[in-house]
Amino acid sequence: METRQLGTDGPQVSCICFGAWPIGGGMGAVADQQAIEAVEAAIDVGMTFIDTAESYVASERLIGKAISGKRDQVFLATKVSGKDHSREHIEQALEASFQALGTDYMDLYQLHSPQPQWPIDETMGVLSRLRDQGKIRYIGISNYSAEQTAEVIKYGPIHSSQPRYNMLNREAEESILPVCLENGIGVIPHSVLAKGHLSGRYQPGHTFDADDERSEFASFTRDGMKRVIEVTSKLALWSQDHGRDMIQLAIAWALAQSSITSPIVGAKSVEQVIHNAKAADWKLSDSNLAEIDDILDGIVVDR
């Protein structure tokens, strides 16, 4: 699989990142062995950039089992997810991640979300010390606005930002992506499949289990999905006309955006991993992107 550089002077990472929220159980229960095999398949197809978080339920533990004996083959990214950004909590969270993942260093350590009650200069000071100690290699942020990003980089370099970004929600284009591009920050967007809206698998009236986060999203109600499907059904037909499907279109579209380093794409099975990986060789042309924009017609889908 093609690799791309993560941020200015950063490492080369696979152009598609394996998103480990689904295997942790955030979108419904996944059997341990199935989850482990999905991670192993990702490594086999060259999707060696793996993103998880301390809050992703069983995700870190399962990844740890899957990469046992293969640590040097993967670029591991995790996040401190709690609202506590004190030195004590960050250090404890990192050690817990080490234990679950079976490693003694993290390639990319990220702040999962802004916590304004903790001064960012102090938080960055903690992360910088951990980097200097060799416990983490690179620092990243997730779900930070352009203004918050600008504040973070006053206190040290970061190599990645993880905003929500997909064909149905392009808010990041307004300010987050330009700030990242201007400051040499790699962008690894999450929700590239719009939580499944861009998978083509769900129709109005679909009921999600209580342990699936989408059971609480307005866009997945019967009325919400009707509106979305008016657009996604056209995207599905366009994809079919090009010998692909909408999942590969969503990934290829993200890869075609000049500011994107590696879209984070979740998968629950070996089959999904292999299917997702094939999107890496679909190069959308400028005319393709213009046609897609015409279909999207400015739609915005929030949660």
Q: Is 56 a catalytic residue?
A: yes
Phi and psi (nearest 5°) for 143? 65, 35
- For the CA atoms of the chain, what is the radius of gyration? 19
Handedness of CA 44, 50, 56, 59 (dihedral sign): positive
Would you put residue 69 in left (φ > 0), alpha (ψ -120 to 50) or beta?
A: left
Residue 40 neighbours by CB under 8 Å, 6+ apart: 66
Assess contact for 161 and 186: CB atoms under 8 A: yes
Active-site residue, selected from the candidate residues 56, 109, 138, 165: 56
Of 175, 199, 92, 90, nearest to 139 (Cα)? 90
State how far the Cα of 119 lies from the Cα of 125, in Å rounded to an integer. Answer: 10
User: Which active-site residues does the annotation give?
Assistant: 56
